[in-house]
Amino acid sequence: MLDFLQTIVSGVAVGSSYALMGLAMVLIYKTSEVVNFAQGEMALVSCFFTYLVLEYHGFPFYVAFPGALVFSAILGCILEFAVLRRAKEPTILGMIIITIGLEMILMGFVSWKFGADPKTMPFPISPYDSVALGEVFVSSLEVLTFFVALAVMAILFFFLRYSKLGVAMKATQQNNMAARLMGIRTNRILMFTWGISSVVGCLAGLLISPMTMQPYMMWGPMLKGFASAVLGGMTSLPGAVFGAYLIGIIENLFGGYVSIEFKSVVAFAIVVLVLCIKPSGLFARHYVKKV
């Protein structure tokens, strides 16, 4: 029984990083209906920027980490303005291919600049310090990641629901042309959304980097975050978080009791099964557009 509880807690802990990546992807999709496969590598660049500032320039972490969030916001805005906005009459498939291209470029840049050798991110909380929850143990970093994921979800939920900018973002997603006619500057809204999404992804990367830091570190979390968003519903922030924790728990149970070699496959098997039953995901509504 104790091993089972430990597996569940570990699944929730790992699901928190998936949740942050899922939230970042849902945020962009809710505004532009673009699936951003460059999300992980945007976070990767921000993490290595933080490492550069800490290790080579000697800044303290309380300066470097907020600086990384600002850097990630600027990076997201630049990518939207310089690349995505320049696409002529883009289709959904075309935008996906563009984000995949950005992913390869950013990963290649990090590999060229920093090499493939693993790095160690200086972090105020060690990933090896544990907190006891009764007889179950969880690392302090995983506890922090859990609360950060819930806090980000709550902030984004209230922001999108009650702020004028959040309503403008939803209006842009529902009908771009109508939003323009109502005076909403949709291009600025899209750029702002990419900036916020990049910050959320950066948070995920910074919380993952103390455990592993190399050019491919965000590949797995990005795919699991995407799977979480699809499972919960690509337009639902709570759905993305629920999907992330569900995937984290189930894949941990599968790895602990069935086979660790096929642990990563479970997430996508769950997604395929759910989409066969409910194409919009568990928490989102399925709309049919008539033309």
- Please give the pLDDT value at position 1: 66
Q: Give 182-241 pLDDT, tens digit per residue.
A: 888 888 899 999 999 999 999 999 999 988 889 999 998 998 999 999 998 888 888 899
- Please give the pLDDT value at position 290: 47
- Please give the pLDDT value at position 291: 47
Q: Which residues pair with 139 in a beta bridge?
A: 130
Residue indicated by tokens 């209906």 = 33
List CB contacts of 177: < 8 A, sequence separation 6 or more.
Answer: none
- Please give the pLDDT value at position 88: 65
Q: Which residues pair with 137 in a beta bridge?
A: 132
Query: 71 or 180: which carries more pLDDT confidence?
Result: 71
What share of the chain in percent tops pLDDT 90? 34
Domain boundaries in the chain? 2-277
DSSP state of 285: P
At residue 283, does pLDDT exceed 90? no
Q: At what angle do helices 2-32 and 237-257 cross, to 10 degrees?
A: 150
Q: What phi-psi label fits residue 279: left (phi over 0), alpha (psi between -120 and 50 degrees) or beta?
A: alpha
Q: Give 133-166 pLDDT, tens digit per residue.
A: 777 888 888 889 999 999 998 998 898 888 888 8
Closest CA to 28 of 188, 159, 195: 195
Instruction: Determine how β-strand 130-133 pairs with β-strand 136-139.
Output: antiparallel
- Whole-prediction pTM value? 0.91
Q: Give 225-275 pLDDT, tens digit per residue.
A: 999 999 988 888 888 999 999 999 988 888 878 877 777 788 788 888 887
Q: What is the mean pLDDT of residues 167-189?
A: 84
* CA distance linking residue 84 with residue 61, whole number of Å: 32
Reduced to 3 states (helix: H, G, I; strand: E, B; else coil), residue 163 is coil
Mean pLDDT in the chain?
Answer: 86
Please check whether the domain covering 2-277 is classified as CATH 3.30.70: no
Q: Give 37-69 pLDDT, tens digit per residue.
A: 999 999 999 999 999 999 888 888 889 999 999
- Please give the pLDDT value at position 89: 67
- Please give the pLDDT value at position 47: 94
Q: What is the mean pLDDT of residues 168-179?
A: 82
